[in-house]
Every structure is written in C-alpha cells, then in structure tokens.
Amino acid sequence: MTHSALDQLMGRARGPMGPEIDLDFGVENGPLVELGRLITRMNGFYLFNGGVQVFRVGDEGLGHDMLAWNTEELWKDSYNGLADDLFCFAQDLFGAQFAVMGGTEVVRFDPETAEVGVIGTSLEDWAAWLLDDPDVNGVNAFSYAFQKENGPLEPNERLIPLRFFVMGGTYEFENLAVKDAALAMRIRGPVAQKVHEAPDGATIHLGTD
C-alpha cells in the first residue's frame, strides 16, 4: 500500500501541541480543507527536529495559535500589506512562512524579502516538497545541529540572523539569535518592505526614516 506524502509526513510528526479540536474553515475544496483535516488529526506539531513547526489552533497549548498568528496586529502590520493575502499555517526554523494564498495555492513566504514562492496547490504538494529534501526544505540537519549545541528552542521561538541573510549574513551559529517568533517577524517586516520595493542591485539603507 502506497501512503500519500502527507501521511508519510505525519508519520514523522511530533505533537500534538494543543488539545484535540475539530477544525473546519467553512470552504468546500482546496488546501484549507486539507489543513482543517490535518489539525483535526493532530493539533500542531513539529517536523524534522523542529526545522518545521505547524501551528496549533485554540486558546490552550504550546507555541503561537494559528488564528492569532494571522491577525494583523501580531506581526503582519509590520509588512504593510505584503503578507495580507497569506494564511500562514507553519514556519521553518528561520521564520520562513508556509501559507495558503488566495485559498488555492500553498506558498513559502520569505520573511526578509516578502518574496512568495509557490509550492503547489495542495498540502499534499507541500508534504512532497518537504520530503523531497528535508535538509534544505525542512531545515532538518541544521535544526538538529543548532539545538544540540545551543539547547532546544521553546515552542514560541525561532531563529533570526543578526546580519540578515539578504544582506550577506551567514548561517554560522554566531550570526543567529533566538527570539519569539512574532517579534522576529516584526523586526524583519520593515526590512522586507525596503528589499521588496528595491530594484535589483540597489543599495538598501536600514535607517529609521
């Protein structure tokens, strides 16, 4: 019997991060239907040694609540509209967001540039993409190595580079800080606005003006 990519992914999941919940987004088809079933099956979980975190839903549990995560005031307002079309359901170790866009596509949102990369049209596509290269797409080996040396991250925490990757920052542990995931997004939002609007090769000034 051949299991779907999503079933294979769930076989690697560590959770749940919240109490059982029956989640229905009120739509009849598309990736949000899959997401509702996924969270009903396991309400929040980690994948790949914490390299990917799928948010829980509800008032109780570990880490950020998925619905609160998608409110404007938590972090999205710092992107000034660049993340408004996204319903983010998961994030990787560095805060890259996995989201449903327009109710029809599953995408990866870069927190430093606000660039959106389409992964597919279903969570099945997303699962297959992660499983295709867990170390690159799921940050598997890096997450294991970082936490082995520095200790485990709390469920609400992710990593942020001291010198942003888009500005030439490296993935050396010394260039990485542990912060609350929402705060890390808010820090990067204004930078993403400038990078997103700048032409290729432009010099980016990170002043307070």
Q: Could you tell me the pLDDT band of residue 156, with boundaries at 50, 70 and 90?
A: very high
| Amino acid of residue 208 | T
Task: Evaluate if residue 83 carries a pLDDT over 60.
Answer: yes
Q: Domain extents for the chain?
A: 5-197
Average pLDDT over residues 105-117: 97
- Where are the strands (E) in the chain, listed by range? 45-47, 52-54, 86-92, 97-101, 105-109, 116-120, 157-161, 176-180
**In whole angstroms, what is the distance from residue 137 CA to residue 113 CA?**
18
Dump pLDDT digits (tens) for 30-59. Answer: 999 999 999 999 999 999 999 999 999 999
At residue 99, the 3 state secondary structure works out as strand
Assigned token pair, 26:
């009120």
Task: Give the pairing of strands 157-161 and 176-180.
Answer: antiparallel
Which pLDDT value is given to residue 71? 96
Average pLDDT over residues 112-126: 97
Which pLDDT value is given to residue 2? 59
Residues in CB range of 28: below 8 A, 6 or more apart: none
Sign of CA dihedral 49, 127, 67, 107: positive
Average pLDDT over residues 96-111: 97
Q: What does pTM read for this prediction?
A: 0.92
Average pLDDT over residues 145-169: 96
Which pLDDT value is given to residue 197? 77
C-alpha distances (whole Å) from 111 to each of 1, 79, 88, 115 are 39, 9, 12, 8
Average pLDDT over residues 105-133: 97
Which pLDDT value is given to residue 1? 52
**In whole angstroms, what is the distance from residue 27 CA to residue 182 CA?**
28
Task: Evaluate if residue 145 carries a pLDDT over 50.
Answer: yes
